[in-house]
């Protein structure tokens, strides 16, 4: 049997198994969420009254929260909050970049709103500072995921070639790239941004 020719079908089979396992994981996570007794109504998270009461009991007041913080944590806090400046600059530039360039490359734009989730402020067991911190983390991580997808679609358009070494945290388009050293495969996927046009 030609192992080289059999390789693509084996890879496809493994990808299908991964998709199946991801579906099972999502199903199990949904079951766990159901046990926490909350629902959604017009974008607002609603907990059962008894759960909400327990949340309020567990809430740590802001004065106590700050008073019990480790001194080094307090001293390093400004470094965390300073990051808002480069994050906002990245947000502006990456959004401008795709607005100008993606229509030219005929790449579907990344929907910014799909990468940001601000819902932790509904949790009654968080004080105001914790809610602000959670919103900040949501913004930072959402922004980086949004920027990464824009970069991934750009790479898929311009340079759909896998690396020779293993890459940690591959984006979802990476599997469609030509193998490192596969010149014919690259010509097939790179024709005027073939991966970018076909799959994005």
Rounded Cα distance between 34 and 28, Å, is 10
Confidence at residue 121, expressed as pLDDT on a 0 to 100 scale: 83
In the numeric block, the tokens 């030509």 are attached to 178
In the numeric block, the tokens 């994005």 are attached to 200
- Do residues 142 and 86 touch, judged by C-beta distance below 8 A? no
For residue 153, which of 190, 116, 197 has the smallest C-alpha distance? 197
Enter the pTM of the model. Answer: 0.73
Confidence at residue 1, expressed as pLDDT on a 0 to 100 scale: 45
Confidence at residue 44, expressed as pLDDT on a 0 to 100 scale: 64
- Do residues 180 and 161 touch, judged by C-beta distance below 8 A? yes
- Do residues 160 and 177 touch, judged by C-beta distance below 8 A? yes
pLDDT, tens digit, 9 for 90 and up, residues 108-161? 999 999 999 998 888 888 999 999 999 999 999 999 999 999 999 999 999 999
Confidence at residue 50, expressed as pLDDT on a 0 to 100 scale: 66
Confidence at residue 40, expressed as pLDDT on a 0 to 100 scale: 57
Domain boundaries along the sequence of the chain: 70-158, 160-200
Confidence at residue 198, expressed as pLDDT on a 0 to 100 scale: 46
Confidence at residue 199, expressed as pLDDT on a 0 to 100 scale: 47
Where the chain has pLDDT below 50, the residues are: 1-3, 196, 198-199
C-alpha dist (Å) from residue 149 to 19, 40, 71, 187, 197: 19, 28, 38, 23, 15
């Amino acid at each position: 049997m030609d192992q080289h020719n059999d390789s693509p079908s084996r890879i496809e089979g493994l990808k299908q198994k991964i998709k199946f396992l991801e579906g099972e994981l999502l199903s199990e996570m949904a079951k766990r969420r159901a046990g926490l007794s909350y629902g959604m109504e017009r974008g607002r998270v609603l907990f059962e009254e008894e759960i909400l009461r327990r949340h309020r009991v567990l809430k740590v007041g802001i004065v106590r929260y700050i008073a019990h913080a480790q001194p080094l944590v307090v001293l390093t806090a400004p470094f965390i909050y300073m990051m808002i400046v480069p994050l906002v600059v990245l947000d502006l530039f990456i959004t401008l970049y795709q607005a100008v360039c993606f229509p030219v490359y005929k790449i579907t734009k990344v929907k910014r709103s799909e990468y940001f989730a601000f819902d932790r402020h509904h949790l009654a067991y968080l004080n105001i500072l914790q809610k602000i911190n959670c919103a900040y983390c949501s913004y930072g991580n959402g922004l980086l995921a949004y920027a990464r997808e824009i970069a991934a679609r750009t790479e898929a358009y311009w340079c759909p070639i896998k690396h020779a070494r293993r890459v940690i945290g591959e984006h979802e388009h990476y599997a469609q790239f030509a193998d490192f050293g596969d010149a014919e495969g690259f010509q097939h996927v790179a024709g005027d941004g073939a991966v970018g046009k076909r799959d994005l």
